[in-house]
Amino acid sequence: MRWRDQGESSNVEDRRGMGGGIAVGGGGIVILILALGVWLCGGDPRSLLQIGDDQQQPQVQQPGAANRPSDENKQFVSAVLKMTEDAWGEMLPQQAHVRYTPPKLVLFTTQINSACGYASAATGPFYCPGDQKLYLDTAFFRQLQTEFGAGGDFAQAYVIAHEVGHHVQNLLGTMDKVQRAGENNQMSVALELQADCYAGVWGSYVQKKGLLDPGDPKEAITAAASVGDDTIQKRTQGYVVPESFTHGTAQQRMSWFAKGMQTGDIRQCQTFR
């Protein structure tokens, strides 16, 4: 993936090396919600939307954090976020007649407080509609490669693009509709698969711009399959419980990402049908 010459987004907040206390007033419940709904590559917005941003506590900066040097992880994340801003800034008005307002992306280590409450790195990357921010511990990239066998820069970019897909859903009002539907695993799966499809739409855009190498699409497909509910359940517990799915099967996630990438059209991402 040719990301090094694409510039960097100004919407990255680097909170690595900063401590964050547990949110008061139900913080433990928030952890459970995030752990269940935000396991990998995207959260369950039905749960996230129910949490107010009045539960945050100030974060205490650790010595040396302010002088932290720039690193390649941050450069990569900033470049990919900039590529999503360019893509959706052009595509969303064209395809949905909605102005794109880019989200912030927060880098953290170990734990973080957001408008959706407290989360640890174990919850994986997630999007919080309460503050319209993406949260990412870049250690997840290593986990993606070592534990899930999904290496490569475009696999990592897929993770970011999926979370940005949730932001697009928020701008389009899709998340509100899902929240109003109440507790419904089918709706949660449809929401996650649509975010995968939106990630594919972004992939189509950067491919047309000549920014992908020949093996990049396969990297993203592999990443999508590696975080399917069935794949994760087989790996962690040895059997599959379809009734508990919240993100979709490996096949579904691959298929919807591929559809978005093949069509480049968000109107083809009708997962709720």
Q: In 190-206, which positions are buried (b, 16+ CB within 10 angstroms) versus exposed (e)?
A: bbbbbbbbbbbbbbbbb
Q: Residue ranges per domain, the chain?
A: 12-268
Q: For residue 55, is pLDDT > 80?
A: no
Predicted pLDDT at 199: 98
How many residues in the chain? 273
Report d(CA 189, CA 166) in Å as an integer: 13
> What tens digit of pLDDT does each residue of 179-230 get?
888 778 899 999 999 999 999 999 999 999 999 999 999 999 999 999 999 9
> What tens digit of pLDDT does each residue of 60-94 get?
444 344 444 458 999 999 999 999 999 999 999 99
Helix ranges (DSSP H) in 43-133: 45-48, 72-96
Q: For residue 48, is pLDDT > 60?
A: no
Average pLDDT value for the chain: 84
Q: Which two tokens stand for residue 72?
A: 């390649």
CB 185 within 8 A of CB 245: yes
CB 217 within 8 A of CB 203: yes
- DSSP label at 3? -
Report d(CA 233, CA 249) in Å as an integer: 10
pLDDT band at 43 (very low <50, low <70, confident <90, very high): low
Report d(CA 75, CA 73) in Å as an integer: 5
Report d(CA 180, CA 184) in Å as an integer: 10
Predicted pLDDT at 32: 35
In this structure, what are the phi and psi dihedrals at residue 206, rounded to the nearest 5 degrees?
-70, -30
Q: For residue 20, is pLDDT > 90?
A: no
* Listed ranges 13-17, 55-59, 130-134, 183-187; the one with the highest mean pLDDT: 130-134
Contacts of 255 by beta carbon, 8 Å cutoff, 6+ apart: none
Q: What type of residue is 88?
A: W
Q: Tokens 């992939």 map to which residue?
A: 203
Report d(CA 64, CA 44) in Å as an integer: 35
- SS3 letters for 12-27? EEECCCEEECCCCCCH
